[in-house]
Amino acid sequence: MKISVVIPYVNGPHFLEDCLESLKDQTWNDFEVLLIQDKPNPYLTEVENVKDVEDPTMIVDNYKEFFPICVYHTTTTQGVSAARNIGIANATGEYIYFLDSDDYLFHDTLEKLVMEAERTKSDLAYGTIVDTWFKRLVFFDTYEEDTKQVDTSSEEATRNATEGDDEEDYRKKLITEQAPSQAVIDLVGKKRGLVAISALNLLIRVERLRKNELFFNEQILFYADLSFVASVLKTFTNVVSVPDAKYVKRKHNDPVHYPAITQIKVEDKFNNMLTAYETTVKMLGKQDTISELLAFKLLNYYTNYFTTKIRRSEQDYWREERFTQMRALVESIPEEVRVSLKPYKKKLVKQLVKGNLAATKRMVNIHLGSKKIRNIRSNPRAFACYLYFHVFTKLKMKENWVIFESFFGKSYSDSPKYIYEYLSQAYPKQYKCIWVINDKHTEIPYGAKKVKRFSIAYAYYFARCKYTVLNVRQPNWIRKRKGNVFLETWHGTPLKRLVFDQEEVCGASPLHKQQFYRQSRDWDYLISDNRFSTDTFKRAFLFHNEIVECGYPRNDVLYAPDKEARILALKDKLGIPKDKKTILYAPTWRDDEYYGKGEYKFALKLDLKNLKKQLGEEYVILLRTHYYIADSIDITGLEDFAFNLSKYNDISELYLISDLLITDYSSVFFDYANLRRPILFFTYDLEKYRDMLRGFYLDIEKEMPGPLLFTEEDVLDAIKNIGQIEEDYKGKYDEFYERFCHVDDGNASKRIVERVFRGKKSV
């Protein structure tokens, strides 16, 4: 039995390649592929950064030897509906199967669907849709763990907003009273909201589609699956479920360049949704089981989402014409469906039917207000956030106030520290400085005000300070006020690919790109340490404001004239023996190993006891894990050899006292190279990190200023022969220094202060 696989395509060649690769691996090989080249969505043509149509010819040609593939083009109309209709018209197989170009299949999906359809003589077989953020290589490597995780993304939250806790009760009621088919329950009843009803992973007999003239509505761009699936279920009675036939729905982690259709935010979506609903119900009849399920979903959309827009939206049309549109639709919903809602929702719908907007707004205000009060009582952060928006941002901004934050308030360190100290020394008493620091015992010189992150004081000063100096992103809920100046110092020259240079986001926050893009729009200045970083930040951050290539203020201390005296004082302070050489081991985190957002796992791959046995007469080792890493390294019994300084505020001071650096893919080696001391790279998981998780900007096997080491034995051997290592890598080290360290000279803090705070173009 031949299958015609229909794939609409606009852009995203990396998605398409994964999609076609999954077809190449299918255990069922009697199929053809109809790739429909579509025009870009008309709503995206004016959107900045969105990719234009990308020609798939080269990718398609790579797969022609594995299966028949033909390319068609939309002409007079466009969109997924038009593309799929072209597929229906040109399919030559007995079955048709719709596959989005950004998704992929399990290797046996098509076989399971067609075998079950043939066995049961069914006209429609449908499988299971599994969500993921990842490409095939990553997804199948971590499938079991991935499916257990709860998705808390904003996209999923939007879907959940259309599903009330009473929908399950209503579904059970329908099953008891009307006994809808399993397919109706699976494809309509269990789907969250109108948007999630999908024509994907359905194997449909083409003859039945054509005979009953079942096509997609090309006038509806966003919700056309709704009427199509409903008409198929209405027409076909011999339908079979194949739960083991799995389809992988790939969510888009880059809604800036490659937005999924669900991520497109345009006003016409609302009218598209209402049109799709009205068209479907008119076709089915109001008393149809599917119509009742859709009506219940529409009511939940109104009570859960629409009513909040009435209260919060700045656009009057939510309270005027759209309120009237919703009223007309809801009035037509049978009374027995409306009364099945929970009491609060039922009252909201009652006021809507009456056309009483004032009463609706009062109810919503009381309801949301009570929820906010409960949230504030249980979560102090919520109260600080409330005060920030409703009180503090209404106060006058202070022109000479500056708030500093380093690594989420975890330390007094990094470039913000050195900018603050220069500002305080060069312009004493001219600025009021506030430091975000979670440990109240941390000493901060020059009399800065200390506040705890997410406290009420934190919200107050963030709202009132004209200047904000950070080395990581600001909180999502912070909104830049008119007159604010945001200085982002960043925290290192990048080796690992950043943000929009990453295809995958394997970390704890799959919406990293979306969040980063929004937050970085607020930055007025971004610090760079070299031309390489400047070019990378512009591209990877999509950054169009001013990049100040002044060097990193945190590296000023590495050029301090009293450097030797500082080293002795620091060793005394930390209890480091002065008669032994010092190794600094500073690894980074792994994107795919985490407990939660901002909390990463780390397992030490060096045996400290063996290192002490082999090196203890000559060396001690300082352990400094990344600030994201939550795990603590146990050094019990090794206190005279291993010093766990992961919580020490300033890594720049640890550079000073270290004779040798061991790292992996952390950016620390770019800074450490300013000292011209030896660097070793312990890259035991190089292949995975490079090829699956991040990827690198440099050719790590050719351009590093030190050797790549893969085992503990390699590390020990390199340390014992460090003189030879220095000689072997002198040429590469010199080239590296000239490329990445040439701007640093001990005056970066001065340059950035004079530019940002004093308005001088050059220093």
User: Quick one: pLDDT at residue 154?
Assistant: 36
Provide mean pLDDT across the span 218-229: 89
Closest CA to 662 of 629, 594, 730, 710: 710
C-alpha–C-alpha distance, residues 360 and 324, integer Å: 13
Distance of CA 38 to the CA centre of its chain: 27
User: Quick one: pLDDT at residue 31?
Assistant: 97
CA angle 726/589/104 to nearest 5° reads: 120
pLDDT interval class at 160 (50, 70, 90): very low
User: Quick one: pLDDT at residue 532?
Assistant: 96
* Helix, strand, coil abundance in the chain, percent, nearest 5: 45, 15, 40
User: Quick one: pLDDT at residue 164?
Assistant: 47
606-621 burial, b at 16+ Cβ within 10 Å, e below that, comes to bebeebbebbbeebbb
C-alpha–C-alpha distance, residues 436 and 409, integer Å: 5
Cβ pair 674, 643 in contact under 8 A: no
**Structure tokens, 241:** 């479920």
User: Quick one: pLDDT at residue 630?
Assistant: 42
C-alpha–C-alpha distance, residues 34 and 87, integer Å: 6
pLDDT interval class at 174 (50, 70, 90): low
Residues 6+ apart with CB under 8 A from 406: 412, 413, 414, 415, 416, 417, 436, 470, 471, 472
Task: Report the predicted TM-score, pTM, of the whole model to 2 decimal places.
Answer: 0.80
C-alpha–C-alpha distance, residues 415 and 181, integer Å: 63
Place of tokens 């999630």: 196
User: Quick one: pLDDT at residue 506?
Assistant: 64
SS (H, E, C) 111-151: HHHHHHHHHHCCCEEEEEEEEECCCHHHHHHCHHHHHHCCC
C-alpha–C-alpha distance, residues 205 and 188, integer Å: 20
Cβ pair 348, 307 in contact under 8 A: yes
pLDDT interval class at 105 (50, 70, 90): very high
Q: How far is CA 575 from CA 571, 613, 650, in A?
A: 6, 21, 16
Provide mean pLDDT across the span 212-228: 90
**Structure tokens, 317:** 């049309």
Res 38 pLDDT > 90: no
Res 11 pLDDT > 70: yes
Beta-sheet pairing, 202-205 with 124-132: antiparallel
pLDDT interval class at 42 (50, 70, 90): low
Res 195 pLDDT > 80: no
Res 302 pLDDT > 60: yes
Provide mean pLDDT across the span 456-473: 96
pLDDT interval class at 595 (50, 70, 90): very low
The DSSP bridge partners found for residue 313 are none
Provide mean pLDDT across the span 525-540: 95
Residues 6+ apart with CB under 8 A from 185: 171, 175
Provide mean pLDDT across the span 19-44: 88
Instruction: Of 14-23, 176-185, 520-529, 627-636, give the lowest mean pLDDT range.
Output: 627-636
C-alpha–C-alpha distance, residues 671 and 559, integer Å: 11
C-alpha–C-alpha distance, residues 639 and 80, integer Å: 64
Task: Provide the 10 A C-beta neighbour count for residue 687.
Answer: 10
C-alpha–C-alpha distance, residues 215 and 90, integer Å: 13
Residue that wins the pLDDT comparison between 316 and 121: 121
pLDDT interval class at 172 (50, 70, 90): low
pLDDT interval class at 665 (50, 70, 90): confident
Closest CA to 549 of 279, 355, 744, 353: 744
pLDDT digits (tens, 9 = 90+) for 252-290: 878 777 777 777 777 778 888 899 999 999 998 887 888
Provide mean pLDDT across the span 628-639: 66
Closest CA to 24 of 82, 107, 132: 107
**Structure tokens, 579:** 């008669």
Phi, psi angle pair for 143, to nearest 5°: -60, -45
Instruction: Of 14-23, 125-134, 187-196, 722-731, give the lowest mean pLDDT range.
Output: 187-196
Provide mean pLDDT across the span 714-721: 94
Res 631 pLDDT > 50: no
Q: Is 19 helix (H, G, I), strand (E, B) or coil?
A: helix
Task: Provide the 10 A C-beta neighbour count for residue 625.
Answer: 23
Provide mean pLDDT across the span 12-29: 93
Which string of DSSP letters, residue by residue, matches 633-655? ---TT-TTTEEE-TT-S-HHHHH
Res 621 pLDDT > 60: yes
pLDDT digits (tens, 9 = 90+) for 386-413: 899 999 999 999 999 999 999 999 999 9
Percent of the chain with pLDDT over 70: 88
Task: Provide the 10 A C-beta neighbour count for residue 320.
Answer: 11
Which string of DSSP letters, residue by residue, matches 389-450? HHTGGGSPPEEEEEEEESGGGT-S-HHHHHHHHHHHHHSTTTSEEEEE-S-TT---GGGPEE
User: Quick one: pLDDT at residue 723?
Assistant: 94
The DSSP bridge partners found for residue 660 are 583
pLDDT averaged over every residue in the chain: 86
Instruction: Of 35-39, 177-181, 416-420, 576-580, give the lowest mean pLDDT range.
Output: 177-181
